[in-house]
């Protein structure tokens, strides 16, 4: 359950959580005409707070809206400032941040007409998406019977609300079958991503991940690629077959919500030693140091804010 905060930023002003409502004939509710982001804020070791790669996330939000033909009535700078305002109003030193841009009510039909564009930013406390133990012990996943969208069926580079029905089906199927998460294959049969995460595998200390053309480019994915390279690991972007995952030494998910979560089992096959491997642990350790503000080399990824 979402832990309720006091305020949500909605169309330019802070409103009480329970008053951030929309009409039942909101266009996005019926047709999925909206875009969103998932962003994390962390309390740092020194007591300060930061939002991880906030500007880049908001750039992607605006890009997603452009792909869908949605004209956002706020600038990048205004969205960044609104995030600060919301975190401060809710007195959150660490939080999950959910910006949402969507087509409001008015015309009802597939064409949105001149319906208003609504924008909100919600923030609330949130722990590990796949469970605290998952970061150490790893999770069980299955390859889904659902295929990830083809690039000319849905706009796969947009983090669009409607796209995620595909993810909901895959995740629901996986959980119903006793797994924690799903891996979706693309229309060529190669590994694409999780229902809300990017995926990496490790073989002989080399990292492999699906090429950017096959997936939604995650900010955490990009961060891990840069971090791994800085730590001296080779990273290869390439087409990955599911059989390659079965014989990998390590496999892990990355994402804003999932952070860096190891996978211990795929389709009832144990991955490596059945727990977080050495490369995964090394990346986890350094990644969380960055998130906690303990590595000045990556300070440019941190958007500092204060709730005092």
Active site (catalytic) residues:
159
* In contact, 73 and 82? CB cutoff 8 Å: no
* In contact, 37 and 159? CB cutoff 8 Å: yes
Positive or negative, the CA dihedral 33, 220, 82, 20 is positive
* In contact, 272 and 249? CB cutoff 8 Å: yes
- Which DSSP string corresponds to 195-261? SS-EEEEEETTEEEE--GGGS---HHHHHHHHHHHHTT-EEEE----HHHHHT-SEEEEEETTTEEE
For 185, phi and psi rounded to 5 degrees? -95, 155
Cα separation, 261 vs 196, whole angstroms: 12
Tell me the three state secondary structure of residue 128: coil
For 138-173, letters b (16+ CB in 10 Å) and e give bbbbbbbebbbbeeeebbbbbbbbbbbebbebbbeb
Picking from 34, 83, 74, the residue whose alpha carbon sits closest to that of residue 55 is 83
Cα separation, 300 vs 56, whole angstroms: 11
* In contact, 279 and 252? CB cutoff 8 Å: no
* In contact, 57 and 140? CB cutoff 8 Å: no
* In contact, 205 and 165? CB cutoff 8 Å: no
């Amino acid at each position: 359950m979402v832990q309720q905060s006091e305020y949500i930023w909605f169309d330019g002003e802070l409103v009480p959580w329970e008053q951030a409502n929309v009409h039942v004939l909101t266009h996005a509710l019926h047709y999925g005409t909206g875009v969103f982001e998932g962003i994390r804020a962390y309390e740092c070791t020194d007591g300060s707070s930061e939002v991880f790669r906030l500007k880049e996330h908001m750039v992607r939000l605006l890009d997603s809206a452009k792909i869908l033909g949605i004209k956002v009535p706020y600038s990048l700078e205004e969205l960044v400032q609104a995030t600060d305002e919301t975190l401060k109003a809710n007195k959150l030193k660490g939080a999950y941040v959910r910006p949402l841009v969507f087509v409001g009510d008015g015309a009802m039909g597939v064409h949105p007409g001149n319906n208003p564009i609504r924008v909100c930013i919600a923030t609330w406390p949130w722990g590990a998406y796949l469970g605290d133990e998952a970061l150490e012990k790893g999770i069980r996943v299955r390859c889904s019977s659902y295929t990830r969208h083809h690039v000319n069926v849905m706009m796969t580079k947009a983090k669009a609300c409607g796209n995620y029905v595909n993810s909901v089906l895959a995740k629901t199927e996986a959980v119903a079958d006793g797994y924690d998460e799903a891996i979706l294959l693309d229309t060529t049969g190669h590994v694409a991503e999780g229902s809300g995460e990017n995926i990496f595998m490790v073989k002989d200390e080399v990292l492999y991940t699906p090429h950017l053309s096959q997936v939604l480019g995650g900010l955490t994915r990009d961060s891990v690629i840069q971090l791994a390279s800085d730590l001296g690991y080779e990273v290869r972007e390439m087409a990955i077959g599911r059989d390659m995952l079965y014989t990998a030494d390590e496999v892990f998910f990355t994402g804003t919500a999932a952070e860096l979560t190891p996978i211990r089992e795929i389709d009832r096959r144990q991955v490596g030693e059945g727990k977080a491997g050495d490369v995964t642990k090394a990346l986890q350790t350094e990644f969380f140091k960055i998130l906690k503000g303990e590595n000045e080399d990556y300070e440019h990824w941190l958007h500092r804010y204060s709730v005092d």
